[in-house]
């Protein structure tokens, strides 16, 4: 039987994953704006679609990294190098663009919750940037000595999806109150950007230095 994640391993991953999910980005800003403009139902539906879309990236990352490890240490080394540089680039961009959090404008047309869920699911599932992020982020928390890298990444991806479901649903459900709170504290978004940027840079450097 493949090894399950250890409690410290899962705890460390969740702590970082929650902060990165909360950091301002296209998905959570759209969830916020839809919830504020169209109500809780719309915000929650779109948020759940975005969150469930992470499952496709989890499968690709788990299968892809496992295949590379099995096929070629050299190919996996290239992936590690590309992933490290990508994470550092993401971090630098987040630090440079740290700004107050504002909800993106939402379209005014009425849509069903099912349609909004499907739009969120598709938007996340086909985003190549998210695919690259999962390929670079999940291996950081794999305990190589325990074996079963693909199985560990699958578990990590499921954890990421689960915490995203809760956070995005909470953002959509509390969008009205949350939006008012953010308007009174415009610097929160900038600090979340800085924190996420710092984590990206550190993870990227760690990945580049790992042998």
pLDDT single digits (tens) 111-165:
788 988 998 888 777 666 677 788 778 888 888 777 787 888 899 999 999 999 9
pLDDT band per the 50, 70, 90 thresholds, residue 41:
confident
Give pLDDT, residue 122.
82
What pLDDT is stored for residue 194 in this prediction?
77
Q: What is the CA radius of gyration of the chain?
A: 18
Entry pTM = 0.70
In this prediction, residue 69 has a pLDDT band, given cuts at 50, 70 and 90, of: low
21 within 8 A of 167, measured Cβ to Cβ? yes
Instruction: Dump pLDDT digits (tens) for 96-112.
Output: 877 665 555 544 556 78
User: Which pLDDT does position 102 carry in this prediction?
Assistant: 56
Backbone angles phi, psi at 162, to 5 degrees: -65, -45
- pLDDT above 90 as % of the chain: 17
Q: What percentage of the chain exceeds 70 in pLDDT?
A: 73
Model pLDDT, residue 91: 77
């Amino acid at each position: 039987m493949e090894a399950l994640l250890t409690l410290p391993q899962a705890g460390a991953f969740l702590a970082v994953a929650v902060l990165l999910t909360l950091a301002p980005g296209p998905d959570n800003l759209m969830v916020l704006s839809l919830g504020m403009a169209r109500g809780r139902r719309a915000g929650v539906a779109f948020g759940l679609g975005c969150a469930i879309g992470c499952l496709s990236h989890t499968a690709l990352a788990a299968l892809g990294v496992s295949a590379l490890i099995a096929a070629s240490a050299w190919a996996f080394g290239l992936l590690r190098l590309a992933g490290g540089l990508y994470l550092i680039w993401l971090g630098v961009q987040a630090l440079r663009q740290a700004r107050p959090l504002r909800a993106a404008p939402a379209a005014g047309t009425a849509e069903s919750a099912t349609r909004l869920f499907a739009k969120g699911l598709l938007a996340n599932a086909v985003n190549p940037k998210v695919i690259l992020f999962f390929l670079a982020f999940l291996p950081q928390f794999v305990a190589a000595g325990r074996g079963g890298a693909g199985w560990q990444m699958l578990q990590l991806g499921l954890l990421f999806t689960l915490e995203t479901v809760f956070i995005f649903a909470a953002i959509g459900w509390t969008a009205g109150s949350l939006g008012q709170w953010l308007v009174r504290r415009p610097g929160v978004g900038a600090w979340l950007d800085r924190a996420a940027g710092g984590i990206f840079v550190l993870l990227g450097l760690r990945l580049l230095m790992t042998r």
